[in-house]
Amino acid sequence: MKYLHTMVRVRDLDQSLDFYCNKLGLRETDRYESEAGRFTLVFLSASEDSDVKGQGPELELTYNWDPEDYDGGRNFGHLAYAVDDIYDTCQKLMDAGVTINRPPRCGHMAFVRSPDGISVELLQKDGSLEPAEPWASMENVGAW
């Protein structure tokens, strides 16, 4: 397992980039904008980590284009880890009594929650596996 990033939602992207980059010294390693989803993702890395997206731990800033109040910890998104086999990992978690909140239907991504309610994103290392049952038919459970 490899630690990937922590995501936080931000209200003002320019103000946040000023804080994280100009004041704290993080560097932008990647940016993704989704017209359909109405959001922007900006990945930042510390100076002692890699300048290349995904090569070191990162901070993911998520800016939702539509205004939203972030109460109840909504601004903190999730922890993310790359795993060797997402199906095997999810099966082991289920066998240990962990609820798979967002099953890996696509063979790429799943979400579980810690005992304290922290969302943990699991991502298939090096792409996606072929969709497979029982995962492809599983419904979401709860929130993540």
Q: Which helix (H) or strand (E) holds 110?
A: strand 109-113
Is there a catalytic annotation at residue 121?
yes
Pairwise CA distance, residues 43 & 103, whole Å: 25
Active-site choice (48, 121, 130, 139): 121
- Residue 100 phi/psi, 5-degree rounding, is -90, 100
Pairwise CA distance, residues 59 & 4, whole Å: 9
Pairwise CA distance, residues 100 & 109, whole Å: 11
Active-site amino acid positions? 121
